[in-house]
């Protein structure tokens, strides 16, 4: 039996390689093994986001926030998923929370304009 960690790493590799649909297969299996693991749920949300499955991405980012309410990236990604579903007011709330949870000094380097953590996490 493959471990949740191995499946997670396989999913991340697929994301890095630009294969989000393939990533969902491994990450869904990992989620079944470790449903309370925020890193797996975040990666799965990113994969869903990249294949435009907005409602599924929303559900994963909401679960990340259940597990880690102050996760600025999860608020940001949830906001984008909501915005893509036309739920602009709700999206704005999460985008504002993301900004407030991750303040940065003016002019300091930070996330790129898409708010990505790395090549594997750009929801």
Of 46, 108, 118, which is closest to residue 77 (Cα–Cα)?
46
pLDDT of residue 112: 43
Contacts of residue 87, defined as CB under 8 A and 6 or more positions apart, other chains included, come to none
Residue listed under structure tokens 């708010």: 115
Buried/exposed 78-95: b ≥16 CB within 10 Å, e otherwise: bbbbbbeeebeeebeebb
Q: What is the pLDDT of residues 25-74, one digit of tens each?
A: 999 999 999 999 999 999 999 999 999 999 999 999 999 999 999 999 99
Q: Model's pTM, two decimal places?
A: 0.83
Q: What is the pLDDT of residues 81-121, one digit of tens each?
A: 999 999 999 999 999 999 999 866 666 555 444 444 544 45
């Amino acid at each position: 039996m493959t471990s949740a960690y191995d499946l997670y790493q396989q999913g991340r590799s697929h994301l890095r390689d630009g294969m989000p649909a393939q990533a969902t297969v491994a990450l869904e299996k990992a989620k079944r093994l470790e449903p309370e693991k925020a890193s797996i749920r975040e990666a799965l949300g990113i994969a869903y986001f990249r294949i435009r499955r907005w409602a599924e991405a929303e559900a994963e980012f909401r679960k990340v926030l259940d597990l880690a309410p102050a996760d600025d990236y999860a608020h940001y990604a949830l906001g984008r998923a909501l915005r893509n579903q036309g739920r602009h007011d709700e999206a704005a709330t999460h985008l504002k929370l993301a900004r407030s949870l991750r303040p940065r000094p003016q002019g300091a380097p930070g996330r790129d304009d898409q708010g990505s953590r790395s090549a594997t996490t750009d929801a």
